[in-house]
Amino acid sequence: MILSFSLLAAVCFLHKYIVSWIIYHNNTDVRYGNSIWRWTYDYKVIGKRDISDLDDKVFVRKRRIRNRTVTIMYFNFFLGFVFFMSFLSNLLIFIVN
């Protein structure tokens, strides 16, 4: 139970750290907005092509870094859910016994 609680606390602190990085990336460009839960493929680049970085190289590269950070945040969030379920089951076993 102590191990699952410590893993849950570590994931919580890691989640706050990752969210602060996403907020940092959101503040680097006005086109990102304030959302931390969605990927940024719907934010258009300046020019005709949106996939390659030929038109707006700086924004597309920052967008790819931000999308990677959001993916890490989702993985961390679901990992925290698994650790929370483990902690909750251990706590219920402790209460019943």
What tens digit of pLDDT does each residue of 48-80 get? 666 666 777 788 888 888 889 999 999 999 999
pLDDT at 47 over 70: no
Q: Which pTM does this prediction carry?
A: 0.81
77's CB contacts (< 8 A; 6+ apart) are: 15
* Residue 69 belongs to domain spanning: 2-96
**What total of structural domains would you count in the chain?**
1
Identify the pLDDT of residue 31. 79
Average pLDDT over residues 20-35: 87
* 42 vs 63: CA distance, rounded Å: 10
Classify the C-alpha dihedral 11-14-19-20 as positive or negative. Answer: positive
